[in-house]
A and B are shown apart, each in its own frame.
Chain A
Amino acid sequence: MTMLNTEANLSAPDDFYQELIDAHRDLSAAQSALFNARLILLLANHVGDLAVLRQALAAARQDVGAVK
C-alpha cells in the first residue's frame, strides 16, 4: 500500500504558505470555506489513491476534537 508522505516534500515551503494565505485575501468566511473545499477536491483528485486519501483524512482528524 502506498503510504501518505508526511516527510518534508514541498519544494518551497515558505512560498507555498504565503500563497495559500494570500489566496484567501478579500474572501468572506463563506467564500474561504468554498475556496478550501475546491482546493481539497483538486488536490484529492491529484492524489487519486483512496488508501492514501484515507490516511490523510485520519492524519488531519487526529488531535482535532474527540473521535467518537
Chain B
Amino acid sequence: MKTYAHPVYPYTRPAELRGATRHWPVVVAGAGPVGLTAAIDLASRGIDVLLVDEDDTVSVGSRAICWSKRTLEILDRLGCAERLVQKGVGWSVGRVFFRDEQVYEFNLLPGEGHRRPAFINLQQYWVEQFLVERLSELAPAELRWRSKVVGVEHGADGVALRIRTPDGDYTLHADWLIAADGAHSSVRTMLGLECEGQVFHDRFLIADIVMSSGFPAERRFWFDPPFHRNQSALLHRQADDVWRIDLQLGWDADPEEEKKPERIVPRIRAMLGEDARFEIEWASVYTFQCRRMRSFRRGRVLFAGDAAHLVSPFGARGANSGIQDADNLAWKLDLVLAGRAPERLLDSYDAERAKAADDNIRHSTRSTDFITPKSEVSRSFRDAVLGLAKRYAFARALVNSGRLSLPATLSESPLNTPDAAGAFASGPVPGAAAIDAPVSGPRGDWLLGYLGGGFTLLCFGGGIPADAVRSLAGDGIACTVVHVGGKPATGVCPIDDSEGLAARRYDARQGTCYLVRPDQHVCARWRAFDLGAVRAALARATAQVATAAKAAA
C-alpha cells in the first residue's frame, strides 16, 4: 500500500510455554476495533485483561470507514478519540443521485454545541493502530499477537482456552471470555452456536483508490447511474487522499474475476472520467448478511461485534454498534468481577445489545431492499420514490441509501427506572445516551466529559445535601454528583452552563436530576432529588432488584 505501512507487532513466547500459569479475570479474543475497545475499557477500570489475536498487525484493507459521533464519544471516555478525529475526515453532507441527477441531499450536523461531529471517515487500520497504542499505555492489559484460540472449554465458573502460537499450544484460564473474533468467530463455532438470519444474494466491489481530487468530503450515492447501469455506486473520502468506491455487481458476478485490476480500472474510469488519475490501494468483493446470535451471552462467554451480529455496510452500523457493545459490557463485567453486582447484570448486556442489533438489522434490511430491489414491483416502487424525490419533498423521506448509525436508545431495558407520568416533555429518556453540551468546569468544556466511567448523578441547580453526596459516593455502587449551576456541597463537581444549552437539552428545571450509567446512558431522572429514589434506581441499574424481590418472597 502506498499510504499506509502496516505495523508488525512483536510476538513474544508466552511464559505458559515455560510452565508458568496465570489466571486472568478476562480474556478478549480478537484485536479488532471491538475487542480493543473492550480491553481498553476494562484495563482503564484496573482489570487485568489479556487480548489475544491470531495475526500480528492491524486490519488489511480499510473495511469500516465511517465512525459515528457516539463511537467518538465512547473513545473520548477511553482517552483516544482525539487522534481519530485529527487523522480522519469530518463530513456531514450526503448526496443521492438517481441516474444522472441529484434527487436528495442531507446534512447530519447535530447542531452547534457538540464536541464531536456526526461522522468522521477513517480507515479501520488507522483506528486499530491508535487503539493498540492506547491499550499499550494501560498497565493491566497484555496483548498477545500470533495467538489463535483453537479450543474453548466452558465451565460454570470460567473458561479454559487453548491458544496456538508459533512455538506451540498452551492453555489459559479465565473467569470470563469476550469473543470479539469477527464474523467468522471461531469461538462461536467451537461452542456450536449459530448466527441466524438472512443472506442477501448480491455482490459488491469495494475498492480503495488514492487520488488527489477536488471532490468534497461528502457521501455520494448513486442509484442506476449512467456509468454503472442498473446498479448502485458509492463514493466516500477517507484520510490520506484515499477514496472508498463501492459498486454493486449483482449476484452473477464472479468474485475472483472482479477483483482483478484489469476489471476494476475501467469501472472506476467510467465513474470518475477517462482522465482520472488514481491508484488502487485495496479491493475486495463482498456479499453481506443480516443475522445475529440468539443470545450474546453463553455462560461465561460474551459475544460482541460481528461475532454476535452482522449487518450490511449501508448505514455504518457494523463497527459502530460493536463499539457500543464493548461500551455496554465493560462496566457490567467490572461490577460483577468486583462482586458488587450479581452475574445476571450480564444478561442485561444481551437484552440491551440484542435489541440494538435487531434495530440495526431492521434498518439494514430495509436499506438493502431499497438499494437492491428483489422483485419487479419492488423496483417500480423504488424508482417511483427516486423519480418523485427530485420534485416532491415527501418522497425524499422514503429514499433509503442507508440509514446512518445513531446511538441505540435502550428504552426497554430492565435497568431503567421509568419516568413519573408526565414529568418530562423532552430530554434523553431512560435508556438514551446522554447528550453533549458546552459547559465549563474543572474537567473541560463538554458535558460528556463529566459523565460516565462510574455512575453519575447530574443535578441541575444544585441543592444536594453534603451528607447525601457522601453517602452516594460511599455506597457499594458508588455514584458521584455533578452540579450544573447552583452552590455545590463539598465533594460535588461544579460545572457552569452559561449558555443554558445543557438545561434546554435535558428539559431541566431547578432540582432536575439525571442518573447516568458508566456507559453514559441515562437510567433514571426526576424533578427533585430524593436519596431513596436514587439508591433504588442504582440498585435497579445494577440488576440487584430481582434479588431483593426474591429475598422478600
Contact = CB atoms under 8 A, between A and B. Distances in A.
Contacts of A59: none
A61 interface: no
Contacts of B381: 37, 40-41
Contacts of B387: 34, 38
A45 interface: yes
Interface of A: 30, 33-34, 36-38, 40-42, 45
Contacts of A38: 384, 387-388
A29 to B, nearest CB: 10
A51 B462 CA distance: 45
Interface string B373-398: 00011001101110110001011001
Nearest to B382: A37
B383 A34 contact: yes
A41 B380 contact: no
Interface residues of B, number: 13
A42 B388 contact: yes
A41 B376 contact: no
A34 B398 CA distance: 16
What are the 8 A-B residue pairs with the smallest beta carbon separation, nearest first?
A37-B384, A45-B394, A38-B384, A33-B380, A37-B380, A37-B381, A34-B380, A41-B384
12 contacts: A34-B380, A34-B384, A36-B380, A37-B381, A37-B384, A40-B384, A41-B381, A41-B385, A41-B395, A42-B388, A42-B392, A45-B395
Contacts of A30: 380
B499 to A, nearest CB: 37
Contact of B388 (A33, A36, A41): A41
A45 B393 CA distance: 10
Interface string B23-64: 000000000000000000000000000000000000000000
Contacts of B395: 41, 45
A53 to B, nearest CB: 13
Which of A30, A34, A37, A40 is most buried by chain B, counting CB atoms within 10 A of its CB? A37
Which of B377, B380, B381, B385: most chain A Cβ within 10 A?
B380
B383 A41 contact: no
A30 B381 CA distance: 11
A34 B98 CA distance: 15
